[in-house]
């Protein structure tokens, strides 16, 4: 009887050891995601990611330049300190183009002239972080008009156009805040998320 009990205890010890190893791996991943991402504001978390130049697809709604209803989708590996930690996906739909708008744009695209030909796109982005969950952001992008409707509509390099973080899953299930994405000259992006997670 004692041998059986000892065997059970040994079996339980192995299970506990395995659970501890899994827990440690999870904490390591959390450490990667949150490392160096503090914020001076209490209750606020700052996360910084980069993404490679994205793979893009476009679905045009007409052949005469940009047309309301044009759709662009994208995906890219999500990195932190050079290491792939997840995936970024998203889509963009043209809601107003230059032909249909008459409002002033220069205050929303810094450095661009008042008469810039600009299209307005509704955008959604999803940051999936391996083993942690996802962060979802939505909002608008102003993009310089392109006469070729097959081109993917990128925001001008170096400009910041915030999106609202509206939720998440897993570790990020109560996330809300703001996302700023900046396109670099090499086509990669830097993403800064300022979040409240509770």
Q: Are residues 72 and 125 located together in one domain of the fold?
A: yes
Q: Are residues 169 and 73 located together in one domain of the fold?
A: yes
Q: Are residues 23 and 46 located together in one domain of the fold?
A: no
Quick check: 8 pLDDT over 50? no
β-partners of residue 74 are 56, 90
pLDDT the model gives residue 22? 42
Q: Are residues 111 and 139 located together in one domain of the fold?
A: yes
pLDDT the model gives residue 25? 41
**pLDDT tens digits, 28-75:** 444 446 544 565 678 899 999 999 999 999 998 876 777 889 999 999
Mean pLDDT of the chain: 80
Q: Are residues 152 and 69 located together in one domain of the fold?
A: yes
Q: Are residues 2 and 81 located together in one domain of the fold?
A: no
Average pLDDT over residues 79-93: 97
Q: Say how far apart CA 39 and CA 32 lie, in whole Å.
A: 16
The CA-atom distances, in angstroms, between 111 and each of 23, 117, 189 are 49, 13, 19
CATH number at residue 127: 2.40.480.10
Q: Are residues 13 and 45 located together in one domain of the fold?
A: no
**pLDDT tens digits, 125-174:** 999 999 999 999 999 988 887 778 788 888 878 777 899 999 999 999 99
Q: Are residues 145 and 158 located together in one domain of the fold?
A: yes
Total domain count, the chain: 2
DSSP string, 83-125: EEEEEEEEEEEEEE-GGG--S--TTTSTT--TT--EEEEEEEE
Q: Are residues 136 and 82 located together in one domain of the fold?
A: yes
Helix (H, G, I), strand (E, B) or coil at 178: strand
User: Which structural domain, as residue segments, surrounds residue 86?
Assistant: 38-196
Q: Are residues 42 and 30 located together in one domain of the fold?
A: no
Q: Are residues 9 and 89 located together in one domain of the fold?
A: no
| Percent of all residues in the chain with a pLDDT value above 90, rounded to a whole number | 48
């Amino acid at each position: 009887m004692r041998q059986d009990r000892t065997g059970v205890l040994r079996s339980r010890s192995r299970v506990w050891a395995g659970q501890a190893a899994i827990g440690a791996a999870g904490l390591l991943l959390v450490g990667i995601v949150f490392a160096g991402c503090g914020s001076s504001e209490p209750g606020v978390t700052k996360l910084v990611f980069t993404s490679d130049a994205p793979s893009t697809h476009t679905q045009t709604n007409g052949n005469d330049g940009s047309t309301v209803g044009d759709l662009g989708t994208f995906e890219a590996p999500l990195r932190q300190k050079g290491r792939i930690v997840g995936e970024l996906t998203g889509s963009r739909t043209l809601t107003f183009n230059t032909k249909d708008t008459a409002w002033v744009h220069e205050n929303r695209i810094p450095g661009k002239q008042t008469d810039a030909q600009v299209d307005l796109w509704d955008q959604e982005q999803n940051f999936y972080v391996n083993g942690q969950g996802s962060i979802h952001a939505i909002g608008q992008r102003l993009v310089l008009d392109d006469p070729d409707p097959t081109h993917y509509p990128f925001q001008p390099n170096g400009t910041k156009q915030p999106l609202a973080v509206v939720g998440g899953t897993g570790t990020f299930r109560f996330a809300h805040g703001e996302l700023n994405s900046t396109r670099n000259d090499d086509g990669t992006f830097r993403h800064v998320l300022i979040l409240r997670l509770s």
